[in-house]
Amino acid sequence: MISHSFADTFSEPQFYQRVTPTPVRAPKLIAWSDDVARRLNWQPSDALMQALAGNQVLPGMKPIATRYGGHQFGHWAGQLGDGRAILLGEANGLEVQLKGAGLTPYSRRGDGRAVLRSSVREYLCSEAMHFLGVPTTRALALVTTGDDVIRDMFYDGHPAPEPGAICTRVAESFVRFGHFEILAADGDKVGMQKMLDYVLGFYPGHTLETFFGELCTRTAKLMVEWQRVGFVHGVMNTDNMSILGLTIDYGPYGWMDVYDPEWTPNTTDREHRRYRFGQQPSVSLWNLSQLAGALSLLGTDLREPLEQYRQTYFKEWEHMMANKLGVADFPLELVKELDVILRLQEIDMTIFYRKLADCIAFGMPHGAFYQEMQVPTKEKLSLWLTKWRALKPDAVLMNKTNPAFIVRNYLAQEAVDALMKNDDSVMKALELALQTPYEVNNATKNFLGRRPEWARTKPGCAALSCSS
Ligand code: AMP
Ligand code: MG
């Protein structure tokens, strides 16, 4: 039922260490993804629930924490490792990992636990990304532990107990750029080759050079996807970059409500905005160049594939923007003008693009405006719409590209607030809605409005700290 190629391929303690999840007092299943369960070929059972809470290790499971390093906010941070993630093994070719199941040898000063609010956010967003068609790790289950976790949510000297939770994540592999970087820091050429051979298993037929080229392509495409749906990861350190080009480690991420390329949800990043929406593509390139630097221990020059990144990114971005506007060829001038118009006042990015498809004959995307449309906006937008209409946009293409539903930050927060009162109705409703993000239907229709005014400044809705 379960195997463990990571543990079977590598040795301790250079690559990982065996750990035992720390049992919890009163596990309760809060969410379960049938789709992920099907892929694993798993059925829910009491024994499995206990395993996903860390109270039991099922036959075949070999819990380990893996070792990696990383560049955090542009600086080499040394060894990090799975401080609160425990890899149980794999089923049907997919790795299963618990996040928040207790201390590991890499926990450093952390407690190995995760709070309910961050676990709900990870669960909802990774599932939402999947159904949006964005490469991502998945979530199988969410359990509350019955134990409290102490967090200083705003880092302002007010630690308080919060309910703990464990999110079960699933991916083909959780290997990060940082798994290579730590081996480079060790100067461990043999280990590096071993890690490479392992990763090449996920890239059949590739050599180091072509694998790296493919990773650059996947990462560039991922950045385009984040631009398409208005996602800001918030903490794109190299230890949070997937070797498969997946979105990984949902922490202080956010969805853009108001269009603003300068926006970052992460309060820790507020000053320099390194990880702001518009900068994500170039941060990825920086991260890839750190990885190329690490891989250079093997003596291969990876500058060529790295240089391809920009080209791939812009080609894909132009294609995506053309799709968003429903036209066949990338309309450079229109896109530039639209970028200016969208910043004239507070305009909701998701609603704007979605409503645009209703304006092909006539009309204005009214619902997207956070305040009344001002005269200069109206004038510029009218002119722009006339030019755009002349290109004969395709509404079907637009509605496949522009989601109607995203799990806005405030929606996830509403799910958390309700769960704190033992009410799982919002969670259930969002779980259903996120499965059809391109449709306006009974599941999504109540969640399509602008961010309400109360959420403008509310923590968890407007700004997220790394405390999780
Ligand atoms: P992140 O910024 O969440 O990606 O985490 C960076 C590093 O800190 C990783 O090595 C995590 O495993 C570790 N970490 C984060 N939170 C905790 C925690 N509560 N306990 C132990 N390690 C943690
Ligand atoms: Mg991380």
- Average pLDDT, consecutive stretches of 10 residues, N- to C-terminus, the chain (468 residues): 92 98 98 98 96 97 98 98 98 98 97 98 98 98 97 90 98 98 98 98 98 98 98 98 98 97 94 96 98 97 96 98 98 98 98 98 96 97 98 98 98 97 98 98 98 92 87
Q: Is 138 helix (H, G, I), strand (E, B) or coil?
A: strand
The residue to which tokens 């990992």 are assigned: 97
| HSE, side-chain direction, 13 A CA sphere, residue 450 | 19
- Residue 165 Cα, ligand 1 centroid: separation in angstroms? 15
Q: Of 96, 174, 172, 169, which is closest to residue 126 (Cα–Cα)?
A: 169
Cα–Cα distances (Å) from 361 to 24, 377, 380, in that order, read 59, 20, 18
Name residue 380's amino acid. K
Number of Cβ atoms within 10 Å of the Cβ of 118: 26
249 lines ligand 1 (CB under 6 A): yes
For the chain, domain boundaries: 5-177, 327-393
CA angle 97, 99, 102 (to 5 degrees): 110
Instruction: Please give the model's pTM, rounded to 2 decimal places.
Output: 0.98
Report whether the peptide linkage leading into residue 13 is cis, meaning its omega lies within 30 degrees of zero: yes
464 alpha carbon, closest ligand: 1
Res 1: pLDDT: 62
348 carries an active-site annotation: no
- The answer to whether the CB of 77 is under 6 A from ligand 1 is no
**82, 107, 150: residue to mutate for ligand 1 pocket, most atoms within 8 A of CB:** 107
Q: Which ligand is nearest to the CA of 468?
A: 1
Closest residue by Cα to residue 139 from 440, 438, 439, 430:
430
Residue 169 alpha carbon to ligand 2 centre in Å: 13
Q: Is the alpha carbon torsion for 236, 10, 55, 53 positive or negative?
A: positive
Q: How close is the Cα of 249 to the center of ligand 2, in Å? A: 5
